[in-house]
């Protein structure tokens, strides 16, 4: 290498390295924004564009534009409005490109509606009727089938993949994908409005919305499958949405659902080890429980129960509050919990609630009493494919010293479990049987 060339190489290499490092840093930032904000951007794009598929295409175009421009121009102070504006203008460009196949008046009307600046996002304002809340009410519209409402909300509001939702609800992925496609078509063809319903219609729509939000929380609090026990982003999103809903409609069941989620979420850190292994409730370090969440959740439970208009979420939250009150596992008031489950069963007589009550009876009256109830539930057939029922049966046999029966029940639970931390926990319990 000649002296001049060597000098040029030495001068330009550090500049190029700094440029590459900046590119990598910006790309990482964009990826982080995509994970945390893409569903918010998507929800606003649906409001602006009025179409799920067009909004999805605009979302991808917006992030593609960010990958091209932000490394050169810098990351904007307010990335979300930038992305929404970029997606909106990309959609307008797409409509113009397709103009030769469409009547002029229709194209002009579409462009005028999308380009209306009064509908553009304002990141400095707090809106109770948040775009994601609007999207939830759209996905939970009563004209859609209940299973389609849940699938569409998890896919479009929370960003779960079709495969993840299919695993969560034990449905073949192609079947679930068709369900989502049909739901989108129904929203488009029936012109279902993208809005939070008026106060007169809101209570009637509330039950489904609360149920869907709670399902989102449950998927975040205890992932249905995969390598990790929890998905913090989903549970936090469910809590955030419920806070918004409580501002909009301060009803006792909204209050109760928020309380229930906060009390559950207070135990998140204690539920797994640093290696990601599951820690059962009676073995958790309760000093790790989030005291602020417990205080807020307990206060909400008291307000909801004192109103006299509480329902299933209020009773479930009350059960969680009893657990939260116990400084250690042995101090748990299991008699009160059994009584609360009795009341809950009168409102919602489901096999899963019966199973939870059976476990509480086992803690209050002994494993023999609980095992009779669990055996009867499994023999009835409704919980035959529910891994937690077999896990509970196995645990009660283990506590009674029934090694062979426990081993068989753990095997059945393992065959049905798709979450790796739960599988490792069950394997540890199985291994422990050999020591008895």
What's the pLDDT band for 128 if we cut at 50, 70, 90?
Answer: very low
Query: Does residue 119 or residue 259 have the better pLDDT?
Result: 259
Residue 45 lies inside a defined structural domain of this protein: yes
pLDDT surpasses 70 at 326: yes
pLDDT beyond 90 at 198: no
Specify the pLDDT at position 127.
Answer: 44
- Domain annotation covers residue 328: no
Mean pLDDT taken over the chain: 84
- Looking at the structure, do residues 430 and 361 belong to the same domain, yes or no? yes
Residue from 92, 37, 43, 90 nearest 194 by CA: 43
> Could you read off the pLDDT of 237-273 as tens digits, one per residue?
889 889 988 887 888 999 999 999 999 999 999 998 8
Q: 111-125, 243-257, 277-291 — which one is most confidently predicted on average?
A: 277-291
Rounded average pLDDT over 399-412 = 95
The structural domain count of the chain equals 3
Q: What is the DSSP letter of 180?
A: H
Residue 394 pLDDT > 80: yes
Identify whether the C-beta of residue 255 lies closer than 8 Å to the C-beta of residue 300. yes
Query: What's the pLDDT score for residue 223?
Result: 59
Do 95 and 142 fall into the same domain? no
The arithmetic mean of pLDDT across residues 289-300, rounded, is 97
Does residue 58 have a pLDDT over 80? yes
pLDDT at 129 > cutoff 50: no
The answer to whether residue 119 scores a pLDDT higher than 80 is no
Q: Looking at the domain assignment, is residue 60 inside a domain?
A: yes
Kindly report the backbone phi and psi dihedral angles of residue 272, in degrees, each rounded to the nearest multiple of 5, phi listed first. -145, 155
**What confidence score (pLDDT) does residue 227 get?**
54
More confident site: 18 or 366 = 366
Q: Return the pLDDT at 22.
A: 59
- Assign residue 388 the CATH number of its domain: 1.25.40.10
Q: Same structural domain for residues 45 and 134?
A: no
The yes-or-no verdict on residue 2 having pLDDT over 90 is: no
Residues 140 and 199 in one domain: yes
pLDDT at 126 over 90: no
- The gap between the terminal CA atoms of the chain, to the nearest Å, is 75
Indicate the pTM of the whole model.
0.73
5 falls in which pLDDT band (50, 70, 90)? very low
Domain assignment of residue 58, yes or no: yes
197, 223, 249 — which closes off a domain?
223
Give the domain-ending residue among 223, 251, 281.
223
Whether 133 and 216 map to the same domain: the answer is yes
DSSP secondary structure string for all residues of 134-176? HHHHHHT-TTS-HHHHHHHIIIIIS---HHHHHHHTT--HHHH
For the residues 97-103, what does the mean pLDDT come to?
Answer: 61
366 is a domain residue: yes
Q: What is the pLDDT of residue 163?
A: 84
Q: How far apart are CA 269 and CA 81, in angstroms?
A: 34
Enter the tokens of residue 324. 């939260």
Query: CATH code at 96?
Result: 1.10.1740
What is the model's pLDDT at position 184? 92
| Residue 248 maps to a domain | no
Last-in-domain residue among 113, 138, 158: 113
169 lies in the same domain as 99: no
**pLDDT at site 104:** 46
Please check whether residues 139 and 212 belong to one and the same domain. Answer: yes
- 91, 158: one domain: no
Domain co-membership, 161 together with 185: yes
Instruction: Tell me which of 166 and 373 has the higher pLDDT.
Output: 373
Q: Does residue 172 lie within any of the structural domains? A: yes
Residue 100 is predicted with a pLDDT of 59
Query: Quick check: 355 and 384 in contact, CB under 8 A?
Result: no
Range of the domain at 358: 352-436
The CA–CA distances, whole Å, from 116 to 43, 110, 112, 124 equal 17, 10, 6, 19
The rounded percent of the chain whose pLDDT value lies above 70 is 83
Residue 131 has pLDDT above 70, yes or no: yes
Residue 281 CA to residue 278 CA, distance in Å, equals: 10
Answer yes or no: is 200 within a domain: yes
More confident residue, 295 or 165: 295
Decide if pLDDT at 302 tops 70.
Answer: yes
Q: What DSSP string runs through 223-273?
A: -SSBS-S--HHHHHHHHHHHHHHHHH---HHHHHHHHHHHHHHTTTGGGB-
Q: Is the pLDDT of residue 7 over 50?
A: no
Between these two residues, 237 and 311, which has the higher pLDDT value? 311
Residue 230 has a pLDDT of 61
Please tell me whether residues 415 and 367 are part of one structural domain. Answer: yes
């Amino acid at each position: 290498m000649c002296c001049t060339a060597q000098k040029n190489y030495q001068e330009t290499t550090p500049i190029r390295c700094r440029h590459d490092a900046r590119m990598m840093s910006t790309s990482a930032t964009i990826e982080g924004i995509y994970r945390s904000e893409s569903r918010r951007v998507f929800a606003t794009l649906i409001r602006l564009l009025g179409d799920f598929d067009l909004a999805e295409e605009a979302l991808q175009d917006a992030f593609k534009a960010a990958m091209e421009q932000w490394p050169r121009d810098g990351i904007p102070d307010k990335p979300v409005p930038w992305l929404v504006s970029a997606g909106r203008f990309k959609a307008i460009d797409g409509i113009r490109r397709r103009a030769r196949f469409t009547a002029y008046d229709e194209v002009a009307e579409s462009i005028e509606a999308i380009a209306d600046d009064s509908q553009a996002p304002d990141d400095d304002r707090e809106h109770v009727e948040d775009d994601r809340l609007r999207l939830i009410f759209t996905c939970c519209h009563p004209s859609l089938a209940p299973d389609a409402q849940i699938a569409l909300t998890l896919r479009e509001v929370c960003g779960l993949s079709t495969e993840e939702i299919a695993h969560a609800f034990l449905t073949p992925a192609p079947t679930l994908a068709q369900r989502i496609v049909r739901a989108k078509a129904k929203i488009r063809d029936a012109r279902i409005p993208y809005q939070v319903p008026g106060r007169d219609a809101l209570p009637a729509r509330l039950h489904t919305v609360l149920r869907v939000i709670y399902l989102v929380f449950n998927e975040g609090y205890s992932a249905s499958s995969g390598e990790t026990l929890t998905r913090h982003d989903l549970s936090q999103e469910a809590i955030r949405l419920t806070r918004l809903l409580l501002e909009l409609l301060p009803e006792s069941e909204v209050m109760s659902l928020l309380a229930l989620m906060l009390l559950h979420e207070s135990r998140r850190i204690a539920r797994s080890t640093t290696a990601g292994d599951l820690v059962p409730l009676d073995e958790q370090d309760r000093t790790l429980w989030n005291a602020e969440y417990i205080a807020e959740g307990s206060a909400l439970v008291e307000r909801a129960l004192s109103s006299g208009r509480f329902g299933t979420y209020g009773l479930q939250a009350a059960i969680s509050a009893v657990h939260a009150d116990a400084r250690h596992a042995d101090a748990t008031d299991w008699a009160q919990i059994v009584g609360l489950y009795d009341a809950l069963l009168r409102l919602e007589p489901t096999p899963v609630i019966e199973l939870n009550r059976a476990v509480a009876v086992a803690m209050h009256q002994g494993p023999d009493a609980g095992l009779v109830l669990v055996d009867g539930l499994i023999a009835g057939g409704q919980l035959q494919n529910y891994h937690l029922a077999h896990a509970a049966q196995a645990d009660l046999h283990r506590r009674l010293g029934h090694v062979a029966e426990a081993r068989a029940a753990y095997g059945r639970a393992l065959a049905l479990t798709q979450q790796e931390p739960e599988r490792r926990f069950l394997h540890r319990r199985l291994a422990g049987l050999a020591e008895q």
